[in-house]
Every structure is written in C-alpha cells, then in structure tokens.
Amino acid sequence: MRLALHEATLAPRTGDVPVGAVVLSADGTVIGRGRNEREAAGDPTAHAEVLAIREAARTAGSWRLGGCTLVVTLEPCTMCAGAVVLSRLDRVVYGALDEKAGAAGSLWDLVRDRRLNHRPEVISGVLAEECGELLTRFFRTNDFGAHPDVR
C-alpha cells in the first residue's frame, strides 16, 4: 500500500485526484503502476487502477492476470471493479472506502457478484486513514465548483 500511496501523491501535480495503484505478481513483484491521470490525459478512463492493470498486462504479456493482486488507495469504482473482474486478478486490496462510488463492498459489490464468472478476494481498510487523509487534504485545498463528481 505504501507504493500505491506514493503513486497517489504524484497525481495532484497534474490536477488529478490522489489515487494510486500497483499490481503485484504472485511473487510480490510490482508489474504495474498507476495514478489518476484523467486531467493530465484528458481521458475519462485514466483511473489509477485501469492504468496499473494495463501496464501489468503489458509486463505479463497477457490480459489474464491470475495470481496477481491490485493494491489501490481508494475503493474501485464500477469501471475499475469491472476491469478487475475482466483481467482475472485474484485479489483487490484497498485503503479508503468510497461511499459515493465504491464497487468493492461499500455502495456496490461488483467484484464479488455471484452472477459473474470471476470473483476476486477483497481486502479493505489497509492504511485506510492515511489513504483517506490524502484525499481529504486534496479536496479541502481544491475548488471543483461545477465538477462535484471529481474522483
């Protein structure tokens, strides 16, 4: 989680919300890193999780990431939870809950939906206070006015 937190601290430099993620292989090696880059890239799909999963797939040479773990500072949204399921990650570890858009146990539980063909393990609350504080500081110091949906 400390590696994901480091990625998160880099996101505000481009005006992005401080969310960071890493993908670990079965042996614990980092094979993907990401931080929110929606503002930097002008891409609505440039969430930390998606970017880390894309890099991990390139590193692994396959979109199937069985045996791997996604570690992210904020509970994945529905898009990112879908990417977790579709990439066949074994596990998701996250820090802060996202009560407004979380899809790994708080608002929704997409990753463990019995109707889907893959259900990764979910571990929540890892360094939750530290992850949440990073987000709280960011939103206190930035005025989003017309953009209340900023993630």
- Provide the annotated active-site residues: 49
| Strands of the sheet with 20-24, listed across from one edge | 30-35, 20-24, 69-74, 91-96, 121-123
**Number of alpha carbons in the 13 Å side-chain half-sphere of residue 136:** 8
Phi then psi for residue 130, to 5 deg, are -65, -40
Q: Are 25 and 19 in contact (CB under 8 A)?
A: no
Q: Cα–Cα distance between 11 and 38 in angstroms, integer?
A: 10
DSSP 90: S
Is there a contact between 104 and 21 (Cβ–Cβ < 8 Å)? no
